Amino acid sequence: RLTAAISSVSGHSALDEQASLALDAVLKSVSAALLESDVNVALVKRTRDRVKKQVLPQLEELQAKSTSANQDHDPLAGNKAKQLIHKAMQPVKGKSQVIMMVGLQGAGKTTTCTKLATHYQRRGLKVALVCADTFRAGAFDQLKQNATRAKVPFFGSYTETDPVSISLQGVQKFRAERFDVIIVDTSGRHRQETELFHEMEQIQDAVEPDMTVLVLDGAIGQAAEAQSRAFKEASNFGAIIVTKLDGHAKGGGAISAVAATSTPIIFLGVGEHLHDLEKFSPRPFVSKLLGMGDMQGLVERAQEMALADPARQENMMKKLEKGEFTVRDLKDQLQTVMNMGPLSNLTSMIPGMSDMLGGAGGEGEAARRMKRVAFIFDSMTTAELDSDGSMFRDDPKDKKAIEARDKDKKGKGKEVAAKSKGKENVSPAAGDSSDGDSDEA
Ligand code: GDP
Ligand code: MG
């Protein structure tokens, strides 16, 4: 719909009434899409008026051609927003920088702390975590578990109940040990309460963070505006991270939070795992919101995965250069793709892909197919995995190979059956991988 509307504008060679009508149609479509994604109504209206004000005179001036994609006058990714993004802290080596996380309970602070720590650690910085959440039982255990998994040093206490004292102790300890980045995880409450804001201010006074980050649940939609305003007043945070933008959250509320507080979003949380953190940039974000894909994000995501296991990727490249590619390599690559997170994350980055897969149901089907193929790989013998796949053709001339395979399989069959029984998340569809799905593979 959008594409058709835009091309109807560019089809006009002079500014006539029709062009202006076509522009209205485009703006209407875009506005509808933004509203469907939970962007604030007033903000959509303002943006629409701004686009009109900017585009119409240009149309007049040029008496031709569409200007809908003018880079310098993008009202959503305006200059002010760009400057704000540059100002957001980019930690450097050799200086202890403290980042303090604030937000409501369940927003994703603790999860995001570890993601952020991993992100900086991969870039060669020495990072540590401090748990100042003494409010929720089990908070320290959660941080401890996450930090251990990510191999990030941490500080916290089971007995100390004063969050101010703990955060100060932790920050002082890691400052003395010359850590580059010290991330302080604070507690939240279910609602914005005076008590929480008071605690936040006290911690800020004690540890003097270089940057305070508001963690915002992407699923809260329109409520983002009021919530971010309240936190801005209490903590004057300098950056926002929006979480849970995987799955069904629309994320338009995030834009409202930025508009209400003039504060940039720096990262997005797109899953529960360590690597599910994406750098934020306005253009691809809006483009995704409008269902227009995000190829840049896809590339970054792929690079991030390669960064996670550089040795394996290099090994793969060497093999490919030599022209070797076995079933096992295919299996590894499939695993890498599956590790990149829910398929819906990836497909929404490729323009038109979600439509092609027929919305959520289609994506589910694609994920099921991938799982099926993974099960097929799991049930293969070593010889099959290390082959180039040609032995599956059952070439009668290759009797020996077939015999060897069948023999090998008999032994392995039991083992596989036992293994897949033990798996929890086997969907019914995945179970029938043996009966006739090899065509799909
Ligand atoms: P906190 O109370 O602010 O510290 O929130 P937590 O970090 O404990 O997160 C609350 C829940 O949200 C946990 O179950 C997390 O696994 C989940 N969560 C956090 N970030 C994301 C995200 O980006 N995507 C998804 N799907 N879940 C997330
Ligand atoms: Mg927490």
CATH number assigned to the domain comprising residue 120: 3.40.50.300
Lowest mean pLDDT across 101-110, 127-136, 148-157, 381-390 = 381-390
Is it the case that residue 428 has pLDDT exceeding 50?
no
pLDDT reported for residue 351: 67
Please, what is the average pLDDT of the chain? 76
Q: What pLDDT does residue 69 have?
A: 40
**H-type alpha helices, 188-342:** 194-207, 224-235, 252-261, 282-289, 295-308, 310-321, 327-339
Out of 33-37, 110-114, 265-269, 318-322, give the one with best mean pLDDT: 110-114
Q: What are phi and psi of 127, to 5 degrees?
A: -120, 145
**How remote is the C-alpha of 12 from its chain's centroid?**
39
Confidence at residue 391, expressed as pLDDT on a 0 to 100 scale: 60
State the pLDDT at residue 84: 46
Comparing CA positions, the residue from 269, 189, 186, 266 lying closest to residue 230 is 189
More confident residue, 92 or 355: 92
Cβ–Cβ under 8 Å, residues 401 and 391: yes
Pair (387, 322) in one structural domain: yes
Looking at the domain assignment, is residue 297 inside a domain? no
Copy the structure tokens of residue 15: 């500014």
pLDDT tens digit string along 2-38?
555 555 565 555 555 666 777 787 888 888 888 888 8
In a domain, 321, yes or no: yes
Ligand 1 atom at shortest distance from the alpha carbon of 268 = 23
Cα 249 from chain centre: 12
Query: Which element (helix H / strand E) includes 25?
Result: helix 17-36
Task: Examine the domain organization and report whether 70 and 95 are in the same domain.
Answer: no
The ipTM (two decimal places) reads 0.98
Q: Quick one: tokens of 358? A: 């027929």
Residue 300: its pLDDT value, please? Answer: 74
The answer to the question of residue 339 being in a domain is: yes
Indicate whether 239 and 343 sit together in one domain: no
Report whether pLDDT(72) > 90: no
Q: Does residue 66 sit in the same domain as residue 94?
A: no
Residue 239's pLDDT is 93
Ligand nearest to the CA of 134: 2
Choose among 300, 218, 303, 239: nearest CA to 90: 239
Instruction: Let me know whether 42 and 103 are in one domain.
Output: no
Asked if residue 299 belongs to a domain, the reply is no
**Range of 262-271, 359-368, 420-429 with top mean pLDDT:** 262-271
Provide mean pLDDT across the span 401-413: 63
Distances in Å between the alpha carbon of 379 and those of 94, 113, 375, 400? 50, 38, 6, 20
294, amino acid identity: D
Choose one of 75, 104, 130: the last residue of a domain.
Answer: 75
State whether 280 and 328 are in the same domain: no
Strand order across the beta sheet in which 127-131 lies: 154-155, 127-131, 181-185, 97-102, 211-217, 239-243, 265-269, 277-279
Which of 75, 95, 120 lies at the terminal end of a domain, its last residue?
Answer: 75
Return the sign of the alpha-carbon dihedral for residues 142, 127, 214, 161. positive
* Dist. CA 390–CA 227, nearest whole Å: 59
Q: Are residues 124 and 270 in the same domain?
A: yes
Ligand 2 centre to CA of 209 (Å) is: 18
Tell me what pLDDT residue 336 has.
75
For residue 202 the two structure tokens come to: 């006290």
Which residues pair with residue 241 across a beta bridge? Answer: 215, 267
> Which domain, by its residues, includes 245?
84-292
- CATH of residue 56's domain is 1.20.120
Inside any domain, residue 8:
yes
Nearest residue to 278 via CA among 225, 345, 220, 216: 345
At 73 the pLDDT is 39
10 Å Cβ neighbour count for 51?
21
CA quadruple 95, 185, 114, 299: dihedral sign: negative
From the CA of 242, the nearest ligand is 1
Give the pLDDT confidence score for residue 152 in this predicted structure: 95
Provide residues with CB under 6 Å of ligand 1. 103, 105-111, 188, 215, 243-244, 246-247, 269-272, 276
Q: At residue 213, does pLDDT exceed 60?
A: yes
Of the listed ligands, the closest to the CA of 248 is 1
The reply to whether 102 and 123 lie within a common domain is: yes
CA distance 53 to 63: 16
**346 and 271 share one domain:** no
% of the chain at pLDDT higher than 90: 25
Instruction: Please write the tens of the pLDDT for every residue from 216-266.
Output: 998 888 888 888 999 999 888 999 999 998 866 667 888 888 888 988 899
CA distance linking residue 367 with residue 373, whole number of Å: 10
Is the residue at 248 inside a domain?
yes
Q: How far apart are CA 157 and CA 134, in angstroms?
A: 8
With 80 as the cut, is the pLDDT of residue 393 above it? no
Q: Which residues pair with 101 in a beta bridge?
A: 185, 213
Counting Cα atoms < 13 Å in the Cβ hemisphere of 109 gives: 27
How many Å lie between the centroid of ligand 2 and the Cα of residue 168? 18
Tell me the C-alpha to C-alpha distance, in Å, between residue 96 and each of 113, 173, 238, 410: 16, 11, 18, 60
Q: Please tell me the predicted confidence (pLDDT) of residue 80.
A: 46
The answer to whether residues 226 and 250 belong to one domain is yes
Mean of pLDDT values over 26-55: 84
CA 150 and chain centroid, separation: 18
pLDDT at 410: 61
Ligand 1 atom index nearest CA of 271: 24
Q: What is the pLDDT of residue 9?
A: 60
Count of all residues that appear for the chain in the document: 441
Higher-confidence residue: 366 or 4? 366
Residue 421, pLDDT above cutoff 50: no
Same-domain status, 55 and 94: no
Distance 113 CA to ligand 2 centre (A): 9
Quote the ligand 1 centre to 142 CA distance (angstroms).
11
Which ligand ends up closest to the CA of 247?
1
* Contact yes or no for 97/210 (Cβ under 8 A): yes
3-class DSSP assignment, residue 340: coil
Q: Are 22 and 89 found together in one domain?
A: no
Which pLDDT band, with edges at 50, 70 and 90, does 392 fall under? low
As a whole number of Å, the CA-based R_g of the chain is 26
Q: In which band, very low, low, confident or very high, does the pLDDT at 59 lie, cut at 50, 70 and 90?
A: low
| Residue with more model confidence, 264 or 57 | 264
Which pLDDT score, from 0 to 100, does residue 255 have?
80
Flag whether 59 is in a domain. Answer: yes
**Amino acid symbol at 228:** S
- The count of structural domains within the chain is 3
Place of tokens 């269902």: 291
Distance 204 CA to ligand 2 centre (A): 17
The yes-or-no verdict on residue 168 having pLDDT over 90 is yes
Other CB atoms within 10 Å distance of the CB of residue 439: 5
Spell out which residues have Cβ within 5 A of ligand 2, the ion: 109-110
Least confident of 235-239, 343-347, 378-382: 343-347
| 280: CB partners within 8 A, 6+ apart | 85, 242, 264, 265, 266, 267, 268
Q: How far apart are CA 256 and CA 61, in angstroms?
A: 33
Domain-terminating residue out of 53, 75, 97: 75
Query: Is the confidence at residue 124, as pLDDT, over 60?
Result: yes
- Higher-pLDDT residue of 395, 403: 403
Is 109 a residue whose pLDDT tops 90?
yes
Confidence check: pLDDT of 191 > 70: no
Alpha helices in 139-187 (DSSP H): 139-150, 163-176
Residue 298 lies in a domain: no
The winner for highest mean pLDDT among 130-144, 285-299, 302-316, 342-356 is: 130-144
**285/212: higher pLDDT:** 212
**CA-proximal residue: ligand 1, atom 19 (nearest):** 108
